[in-house]
Amino acid sequence: MKEQSRLDAIDQIIDEIIAELPLKERTDFANMNKEDAEILQRTFDLYIRRKIGSKTEDDEYSDIMNKLWERLSETHRLRIVK
């Protein structure tokens, strides 16, 4: 059950981030390379520790940037339309 609550918390965080991002930033992020999104994880780790608190385990939210990138790349990636 703890794993499900963790996944729900991650989904909620991702939803909140997406809601706050302007459309241009969502599309820019979606069109990044996966490796570039992983670099942003370090910065996000600092942010999440401040937001949630230092009591959070270091690896508990370590994949948020990857999941955010995956979701945005499905919904906001620029594609060529013929």
pLDDT in tens, the chain (82 residues): 577 787 888 889 899 999 999 999 999 999 998 888 888 888 877 777 777 765 555 566 778 888 899 999 998 887 778 8
Sequence-separated (6 or more) residues with CB below 8 Å from residue 10: 61, 63, 64, 67
CA distances from 23 to 3, 15, 19, 31, 45 (A): 31, 14, 9, 12, 23
* 25/39 Cα distance (integer angstroms): 16
Question: Which amino acid belongs to residue 26?
Answer: R
